[in-house]
Structure 1
Amino acid sequence: MAGTQRQSSVKDFEFLRSESVVLDLDEIEDEDDDFYVEVEHDDESVDSDIDVFGQSTEAHAASGDGSASIMPPRPPSLAESSISEGSSIQTNPKTISNSISGLSIMSKAKGYFGGKKKKPVNAPHKTRTEEDGLIVHAQIVSDDFKDAKNCHSNGELKNRRPMPIARASDFFNSLEYMGGKWIHRGPLNGWPGLRDVEVVSVTGKVKVKVSRTFKLKRYWSEDTHKGTKPGLPAGTKSVRVTLQLPKFTAKGWTPESPGYVWWFDSLNGELRHGTDIAKWFKENEKTEGLCVAKKIHHFAHRYARKKESTKDKLTYHGAIMIEWSHGKYCSILELAYHNGVAGWGGRCNWHEDSLSTDPGPNLLQHLPSCMIAPYKTYRAELRCNDIPAKNLDEFLQYVKRHEVGKGGKGDKRFLDFHLVESEDATFIYKSKADIATIICNYIRHNNEYHEESRNCQTFAADTFRMLTGKHTKPYHAVCQLLYAYHPEWFLYEPNDG
């Protein structure tokens, strides 16, 4: 099942600027730019192998990121967060795991594909990886902390920040010691998806007088301070805590339904995620009859922005549109940032009400609480939306309205839309339940996100080729350079426990 439904308002997401459908990246302050309070520190014995993110140099090298920058990516624009991510060059494609083993869709085929399992990117330090559960970071501030960016005029902390924030007394006093671990039950900073998180470490940026540089000091870690309760170090106003969610989050939003994919039936207001999607469609077949893919369309576009940068002009989002045999609606399938919609107020470019603020988009009202958490730019999810358009012509009319800004005041979403190719669906397993199964397999095999080699365009190309049998490539030449087709990710269920 989709989990407990909740009424949620876009107002809960206080970092949003709801007056505009497009937020230029340059207009959004980086949530981590001034994360640490500078503290005078005479001791040179800080953790020299750890950068300001809390990553060891070993983990940083394992990530395969050739960039010299140590700052996190900026939050996406509104349109970008809805379906997000095209092509650019940053990450070494060798970080992508190619090891495949598991079960066939119809029968077991364990061990058919071999290979070593690669270490996940962005591991916080040497002993923790996201194979043990997704990792998040939060800012813990002193009780008298005041900051215009993170606080209301009355001094209360703002809710649902992209980098969660909490006061020291509220956070540390609520920790429970269970099984040798310090657990925060949550929710944290109003994010319902941040529950039952384990505290891994407490770090802070300190100023070293001798060298007049800044380094990271690890004040507490679960490795070296077992049994000792973490807290805000004396003399500090702000620290960062590294937190790890339960182990099942490495595979999906809930343990019962693995797979970071969700499917929203906007016509009937229903949403499912993970392996439950195929079960849902199988049940629907009993009353509604068999629904099979008829035509597959591969398309790409840029995002409408107030001012396009050079990178924006080269960045295209790729996706798939499916026409079904019943002719009642179509579906959009796309790959994008993990929690990019749920963590950004339910904004999605494929629904007319994307700008609704009271209480918020219809999609937001149907997201289960476990999915409402901060987005991750190095992890991926698959998003599937049933839309009212019954065929390609109606879909293109919708795109045209939002390409010229006639979808509503300032509601311009798309630029330079291209229908790349269209073909009949010839894949033998093309029912809605079958397609839900194979794309769930796909994301379970690899839920990483890389701008140049594992992104929306590579998923669109893979899916188009699987469903039509036609050899194709990602839309943009940059993505084509490193593209490798992965049919095995669709056809075999991973042995992920």
Structure 2
Amino acid sequence: SGESPGFVWWYFAQYAGGRDYAFGKDIIDALRGHLRTSKRSMPQAVRAHLFAHRYALGGRKEGKRELITYHTAVLLEWDHGLHMSVVELGPLNGIAGRHGRSDWFRDKFAPTTALSQAMPACVVMPWKEDRAEIRVSDVAARNLEEFKAYVKEYTGPELRFVDPQFPNSDAIRFSLRSQEEIMRYLLNYMYADQSFSVTTRSCQSFAADFYSLMVGDASIVPFHPSLRKTYTRHRERFLYDCELPLKPTTQA
């Protein structure tokens, strides 16, 4: 919005003071408020994991396209050990436009989800397949083993996940790894490019960029081989301040 720019939202579902949702630059103010209220120190990210899966189709048979369509996300572990965060890129309003139904929460198919109740009315609108947003969801799992147990519970052609895989896990080596700093990286990344494209700027390209930056591994590429030929690494987009105007491109 004009008051809180940036196509990033954060669902603080495990916040002890009650569930909260913020978007744009307001995610930073929301975090600071939570820390003041709870009298906790700034969380530091300690480990990252890549997670990929195909979507369950309600028992319908997968076609050729579905068999190569994988959603990819990055899981972050924090030093407080209270919960993890799922970080993903997807089409703009893709969750809000579907009544706040998220695979990361047990109430996905409830008549009214907790996420939908937390979302302000201004973000509930039809999704746009050519525009992107970054979504961060704080989930109940505290570590990778607990997250795997949750995924296993919902794996199957009539459930949520098909062929879940965890191809990479590592310690976070990036020096500036606080939750607030990570929020700024995500805002910067979206400020640089707000487009969405299955072939060139999708969940898989974002996950490769973000995981690669966090763990310091330049060999990371999109999960599925079909997307690697069109992939261009853009780790630098996390690092440049979104609050400063971009300089116009000049030609020699």
Q: TM-score, normalised by structure 2?
A: 0.91
Contact 2:50 2:207 in 1 (8 A): yes
Q: Determine the structure 1 residue equivalent to 2:250.
A: none
Q: Determine the structure 1 residue equivalent to 2:126.
A: 374
Match of 1:343 among 97, 117, 133: 97
Match of 1:280 among 13, 18, 30: 30
Match of 1:477 among 202, 222, 225: 225
SS of the residue 1:326 aligns to: coil
Q: Write the distance in 2 (CA, Å) between the matches of 1:295 and 1:370.
A: 34
Contact 1:278 1:434 in 2 (8 A): no
Alignment of 1:488 onto 2:236: yes
Alignment of 1:444 onto 2:191: yes
Q: Write the distance in 1 (CA, Å) between the matches of 2:89 and 2:156.
A: 25
CA displacement, residues 93-138 of structure 1 (integer Å, 9 cap, x when unaligned): xxxxxxxxxxxxxxxxxxxxxxxxxxxxxxxxxxxxxxxxxxxxxx
Q: Determine the structure 2 residue equivalent to 1:216.
A: none
Contact 1:262 1:274 in 2 (8 A): yes
Q: Determine the structure 1 residue equivalent to 2:212.
A: 465
| Gapped regions of structure 2 (runs ≥ 5) | 247-252
CA displacement, residues 223-266 of structure 1 (integer Å, 9 cap, x when unaligned): xxxxxxxxxxxxxxxxxxxxxxxxxxxxxxx2121111100011
Q: Determine the structure 2 residue equivalent to 1:270.
A: 20
Q: How many residues align?
A: 237
- One-letter identity of the residue aligned with 2:217: K
Q: Write the distance in 1 (CA, Å) between the matches of 2:156 and 2:81.
A: 27
Alignment of 1:365 onto 2:113: no
| Gapped regions of structure 1 (runs ≥ 5) | 1-253
Q: Determine the structure 2 residue equivalent to 1:424.
A: 171
SS of the residue 1:307 aligns to: coil
The correspondence of residues 38-437 of structure 1 with structure 2, limited to 5 A, is 254-267=1-14, 268-286=18-36, 287-305=39-57, 306-357=60-111, 360-404=112-156, 412-437=159-184
Contact 2:73 2:203 in 1 (8 A): yes
Q: Write the distance in 1 (CA, Å) between the matches of 2:240 and 2:28.
A: 15
SS of the residue 2:126 aligns to: coil
Shift of 1:271: 0.6
SS of the residue 1:355 aligns to: coil
CA displacement, residues 332-390 of structure 1 (integer Å, 9 cap, x when unaligned): 00000100111111111001000001xx1110001011101111000011110000001
SS of the residue 1:378 aligns to: strand
CA displacement, residues 18-60 of structure 1 (integer Å, 9 cap, x when unaligned): xxxxxxxxxxxxxxxxxxxxxxxxxxxxxxxxxxxxxxxxxxx
Contact 2:86 2:139 in 1 (8 A): yes
Shift of 1:487: 2.1
SS of the residue 1:343 aligns to: helix
Q: Rg bigger for which structure?
A: 1
Contact 1:279 1:433 in 2 (8 A): no
Range with bigger deviation, 390-399 or 265-274: 265-274
Q: Write the distance in 2 (CA, Å) between the matches of 1:460 and 1:496.
A: 26
Q: Write the distance in 2 (CA, Å) between the matches of 1:484 and 1:282.
A: 34
- One-letter identity of the residue aligned with 2:172: A
Q: Write the distance in 2 (CA, Å) between the matches of 1:429 and 1:274.
A: 20
Q: Write the distance in 2 (CA, Å) between the matches of 1:309 and 1:431.
A: 42
- One-letter identity of the residue aligned with 1:389: A
Contact 2:56 2:156 in 1 (8 A): no
CA displacement, residues 422-472 of structure 1 (integer Å, 9 cap, x when unaligned): 010111111111101101110111110011110000000000011111121
CA distance change for structure 1 residues 456 and 272 in 2, over 3 Å: closer, same or farther? Answer: same
SS of the residue 1:365 aligns to: helix
Q: Write the distance in 2 (CA, Å) between the matches of 1:449 and 1:493.
A: 21
Q: Write the distance in 2 (CA, Å) between the matches of 1:487 and 1:413.
A: 30
Q: Write the distance in 2 (CA, Å) between the matches of 1:390 and 1:447.
A: 31
- One-letter identity of the residue aligned with 1:484: T
Q: TM-score, normalised by structure 1?
A: 0.47
- One-letter identity of the residue aligned with 2:185: I
Contact 1:285 1:291 in 2 (8 A): no
| Higher fraction of helix | 2
Q: Write the distance in 2 (CA, Å) between the matches of 1:397 and 1:467.
A: 24
CA displacement, residues 202-227 of structure 1 (integer Å, 9 cap, x when unaligned): xxxxxxxxxxxxxxxxxxxxxxxxxx
- One-letter identity of the residue aligned with 2:55: Y
Q: Write the distance in 1 (CA, Å) between the matches of 2:174 and 2:26.
A: 22
Q: Write the distance in 2 (CA, Å) between the matches of 1:468 and 1:484.
A: 18
Q: Write the distance in 2 (CA, Å) between the matches of 1:290 and 1:451.
A: 35
SS of the residue 2:241 aligns to: strand
Shift of 1:496: 5.0
Q: Write the distance in 2 (CA, Å) between the matches of 1:263 and 1:389.
A: 16
Shift of 1:397: 0.3
Q: Write the distance in 2 (CA, Å) between the matches of 1:452 and 1:426.
A: 29
- One-letter identity of the residue aligned with 1:420: P
